Every structure is written in C-alpha cells, then in structure tokens.
C-alpha cells in the first residue's frame, strides 16, 4: 500500500488519516473534502488517478492543516512516529511538512527499525529536512526541481533560501549539481529532477533524460512538480522498479500537461484530469517497446 503524508493550507483542518478518494475536483479523506489546486492534495490526486489507471488500491493519506506555523506539522510528525510501526506500507511519500530536524530524526529512527522498511520518497519540505538532517541516503527517491537540486548540491545551505550564488549559477550544469549532491551524501538513492528537461539520476550520474513533449508554461504552474511525485509514487507502489517508474512518470506528466494546452495561468487540476489518458498511452508505448 502507498501512504502519503502532508499538509493543507488551513490552521483549522484537523489531523485525519484514511483511504483517499477523488470526487470531481476534490479529494476526500475520512469525512473531509479538500479542493485540489497545488501542494499535497495535488500529489494525492495524481496518485489516485495513477492507481485507478493501474487498477491498484487507492492510496492511504495522512493530512493535517498547517499554514507555516508548524503546529500541524509537529502534530503529524508525532502521529506518524506513533503509528508507522503498526502500518503495513510498501511505499511512503512525504511532502509539505515544516522542516524540523529533531522530529525528522525521531521519525527516521522509527522507520529504520521497521522490519520490512517501505520504499521512501520525499519531496518539498520533507526533502529539505531529510537533507538538513544529513539523512538523505536513507531515502529511495527525491523529486527536486532545479532550484532544489542546487540546494541539495550546496553542502552548507540549510534551506534553499541560503543556496550560495556560485552554485545557483551552475544550474545549467545539472550533471555537476547531481555529482556534488552525491559527493556530499545529500541525495537519495535515485533523483528525479523535474524541469524544462526531466532527469533520472543516481550516484552513477544521469541515467535518463526526458524532454518531450515540451510545454514551457508548465514551469510556471504551481503543482506540476507535485503531480509527477504522485504519479511516480503510485507506479513504484504497483511494483514497478524505481528507474522505470520515474521515466514513465516523467513522460506521463509531460503528456498530461500537453493535453491540457497550458498557459502560465493554467491551474494544475486541468492537468490531473488528463493523467489517466496520458499514463495509459505511455504504458502502452512501454509494452510496445519491450
């Protein structure tokens, strides 16, 4: 089973967990409804669409309200620390949580002691705290964009806000940034770098590059990084290897974006609705190629 943990932008939203479903433009979890525009709900929606397309069970979610004060995130860290040892998860994706190092360490200690450790995926604030904690190698997959890759490559930066200029200047040299991130043990087993071109990388360097279809406007859209993380999470949970899942997700996310005919003002829900069609096409092409 895939589980996804993250936040929604409201201080009043209580901590809920349960199977996530999607009705119209909303996700439903426990007795709560959340509109999908960006952030964790967008990741969850993309994972639901992917699981549906694959005929897999719907993902499990842990969701709490947090507008950046960190209160909800702390609550969720504690809840996960208490409950994950008793959960039968194959894949766990962590997303928008306040980066808090001591809570991350407690949670990782719990996960480390689980007999059959789930595949660990991190994006957004949870990827930041994994790097800040010096625990990036515990993870199987990070999904940074190019600015976040520069942060992973800067061994001194505690947050992307402090990434040093000479490293940010290197953003066109993605392979150098990837090498630097691995050299300082600030990268997960695999990296899915999302951007104008998408890259799959490991300690060995860049393994795959996907750059079509090209929709320049996607870079400006909030949530397109969240959708690719949702797609790859559900694909990995279905049993696909991480490299195959990453390349399939890169292609499907781009194709879904292409079908949405985006402008820089397009909202991510318009892309999510195209995921089943795009993913089916990519999966068919995968079968044909093999």
198 counts as binding other proteins under rule CB under 8 A = no
67 counts as binding other proteins under rule CB under 8 A = yes
Give the CA angle between residues 252, 256, 258 to the nearest 5°.
115
Query: Minimum Å distance from CB 266 to other proteins?
Result: 8
Query: Minimum Å distance from CB 183 to other proteins?
Result: 15
Q: Convert residues 212-251 into a mask of x (bound to other proteins by CB under 8 A) and - (unbound).
A: ----xx-xxxxxxx--------------------------
Q: Could you tell me which stretch among 23-31, 46-54, 62-70, 276-284 binds other proteins (CB under 8 A)?
A: 62-70
Q: Could you tell me which stretch among 5-13, 55-63, 231-239, 274-282 binds other proteins (CB under 8 A)?
A: 5-13
Q: Please choose, from the candidates 21, 26, 49, the residue with its C-alpha nearest in 3D space to the C-alpha of residue 36.
A: 26
Integer Rg of the chain from CA = 17
Asked whether the beta carbons of 279 and 53 are under 8 A apart, the reply is yes
Asked whether the beta carbons of 234 and 54 are under 8 A apart, the reply is yes
**Sole binder of other proteins in the list 3, 20, 48, 72 (CB under 8 A):** 72
**Sole binder of other proteins in the list 85, 162, 183, 284 (CB under 8 A):** 162
Query: Minimum Å distance from CB 247 to other proteins?
Result: 23
C-alpha separations of 256 from 222, 237, 245, 246 in Å: 15, 21, 16, 15
**Inter-axis angle of helices 275-289 and 242-259, to 10 degrees?**
130
How far is it, in rounded angstroms, from Cα 285 to Cα 141?
Answer: 24
**Sole binder of other proteins in the list 15, 114, 138, 206 (CB under 8 A):** 138
Asked whether the beta carbons of 96 and 7 are under 8 A apart, the reply is yes
Query: Minimum Å distance from CB 269 to other proteins?
Result: 13
Both tokens assigned to 173: 């040299």
Total residues at the site for other proteins (CB under 8 A)?
A: 69
132 counts as binding other proteins under rule CB under 8 A = yes
User: What is the phi-psi region of residue 58: left when phi exceeds 0, alpha when psi lies from -120 to 50, beta otherwise?
Assistant: beta
182 counts as binding other proteins under rule CB under 8 A = no
Give the CA angle between residues 121, 216, 123 to the nearest 5°.
15
Query: Minimum Å distance from CB 172 to other proteins?
Result: 11
Q: What count of residues does the chain have? A: 290
Query: Minimum Å distance from CB 91 to other proteins?
Result: 17
Query: Minimum Å distance from CB 281 to other proteins?
Result: 25
Asked whether the beta carbons of 12 and 73 are under 8 A apart, the reply is no
38 counts as binding other proteins under rule CB under 8 A = yes
First-to-last CA distance in the chain?
27
Query: Minimum Å distance from CB 39 to other proteins?
Result: 4
Asked whether the beta carbons of 123 and 107 are under 8 A apart, the reply is no
Which residues are at the interface with other proteins (CB under 8 A)? 7-10, 37-40, 66-70, 72-73, 96-102, 105, 108-109, 112, 123-129, 132-135, 137-138, 145, 147-148, 151, 156-165, 168-169, 171, 216-217, 219-225, 263-265, 267
């Amino acid at each position: 089973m895939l589980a996804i943990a993250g936040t929604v932008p409201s201080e009043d939203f209580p901590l809920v967990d349960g199977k996530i479903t999607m009705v119209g433009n909303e996700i439903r979890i426990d007795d709560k409804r959340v509109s999908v525009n960006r952030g964790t709900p967008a990741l969850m929606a993309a994972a639901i669409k992917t699981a549906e397309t694959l005929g897999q069970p719907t993902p499990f979610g842990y969701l709490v309200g947090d507008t950046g004060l960190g209160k909800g995130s702390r609550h969720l860290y504690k809840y996960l620390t208490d409950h994950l040892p008793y959960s039968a998860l194959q894949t766990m994706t962590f997303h928008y949580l306040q980066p808090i190092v001591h809570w991350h360490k407690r949670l990782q200690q719990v996960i480390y002691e689980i007999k059959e450790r789930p595949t660990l995926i991190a994006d957004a604030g949870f990827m930041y705290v994994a790097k800040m904690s010096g625990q990036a190698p515990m993870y199987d997959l990070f999904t940074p964009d190019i600015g976040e890759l520069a942060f992973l490559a800067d061994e001194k930066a505690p947050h992307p806000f402090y990434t040093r200029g000479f490293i940010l200047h290197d953003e066109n040299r993605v392979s150098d940034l990837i090498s630097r991130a691995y050299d300082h043990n600030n990268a997960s087993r695999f990296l899915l770098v999302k951007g104008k071109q998408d890259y799959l990388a490991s300690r060995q360097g860049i393994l795959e590059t996907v750059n079509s279809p090209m929709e320049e406007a996607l870079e400006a859209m909030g949530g397109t990084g969240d959708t690719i993380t949702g797609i790859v999470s559900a694909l990995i949970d279905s049993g696909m290897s991480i490299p195959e899942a990453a390349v399939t997700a890169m292609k499907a996310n781009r194709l879904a974006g292409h079908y949405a005919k985006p402008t820089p003002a397009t909202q991510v829900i318009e892309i999510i609705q195209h995921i089943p069609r795009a993913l089916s096409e990519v999966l068919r092409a995968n079968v044909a190629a093999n």
